[in-house]
Chains A and B, each alone.
Chain A
């Protein structure tokens, strides 16, 4: 979202999801790569430390072997195991059975030099098995200085790499988004230009039709005029939608208390000629009067889109029921309905699931944007072949 904002592009939900997925995958991959390199570096540092300590351990081991040799020779006189303050030790026979150990910890003989539980171990095999000792282990405590240093280095290196990769990721994102941004800008520019050119002729047609005295017209001409009226209103509607869509963000809201019942009746009246063309019956049920504090033009746009869709996607001789209740209204049609899987995507811009009727697929996108602006809740329920109900509540 931050990226899309900073790039000045209003992305769709699915596009945002793609961006987030890309970012998540990129970050995950970066973290994995850094972790792998950190692990390899850690292991190398550990090996380096072990090699440095090896000579000390070998010296202790040699000292222990010498003492074991003396004890082996004098075992009939003394049985005191040779100990040292500098290291711990243990001896095993060739079947890896413990002969003696200065500590109680469990020891491994499968490695020559290893670090376990903060103790460095060296396994040595003497030339002669004094006291039967085939394996001699000497161990010293790890001072962990190398660990502190390595941790510090890994944190610094990982942080710098992560930041570097983030910058690279951001640049990549910009690169990937460019064609998408260009396409959306181009479409918006096209709509803006088209609507601007449509404005004057459409206004002229609508104004002139309204000025015609219909009582003077014969039936045949009246029908023709009504058809022109429907056509002009449809074009006017599309023009308003497109204007809202392209200039929506720049429009200043003029909020006021709107009597929803009155607005609904006004808009039904406006769509009467359209609905009559398809012989659709529009019923309005007002259960309770309700008021909404919002911009009248925008709510009117919202309602127009719902009514327009209900007419557009309805069957001939169908029915539309508009209900007004406390803090809600709904538009229900007896149309084609929307598939269950498509309901969640219906509010996306330019998304159309039925191409049999005209339109740009922007109607519900506008509804969704207006609803979002005024915190209105949109609930769409639909059944294919039965109809769709859109409920708006606040």
Chain B
């Protein structure tokens, strides 16, 4: 990824951007986010198989945004997140430069977000086969079995909100879960509190989640919470004419069509 380092260095030297967001070598064979502000530090940037964290989560954070114009090393899921964030007016060409990394690990340079969007449009969001099987298995269960499955799976959750922190779409400065007048979600990590938290998370990501699995990768307990958002991706596609966030620019849940189809309203 010499190209990436060189490009990052040039961007910083010419003051085109104030900070480059990328990955660097961490401890224990892991990688971590790096915020390059000095051209010389650009050499610390790396890119390999371990770089799975969705860096788009940082572009909406005030600590990073306030530094000035940003550049970001963006894999496909990160580019998707950025397009979704752009359609939600959270990023724009004025404050973000995208250094794209293709699935073949080539650096592509984008002049603006419209070009990123054109690039992203080549790839459909595909639920991979292992998850596809898990979803099918759950779909075949009786509702009470599914209920038991979810109560069991969610029971280890101790509400650290790492899933929220890792998600680029969870950028609200005040989250429903932080409200205590009224207390929407019970604070303790008992069955009810966990269930309501995960339902809320899934609903708020409906039509916005681009399936990057950052939440699942961040969860210290390996709770398969991404199954919920994957299911929402599928159901959104089935119910709303193949709608896919980042491929369709829009606001699925805050718009409507007079002829939306349903089969349960009496």
Partners in one complex: no
Residues of B within 8 A of A (CB): none
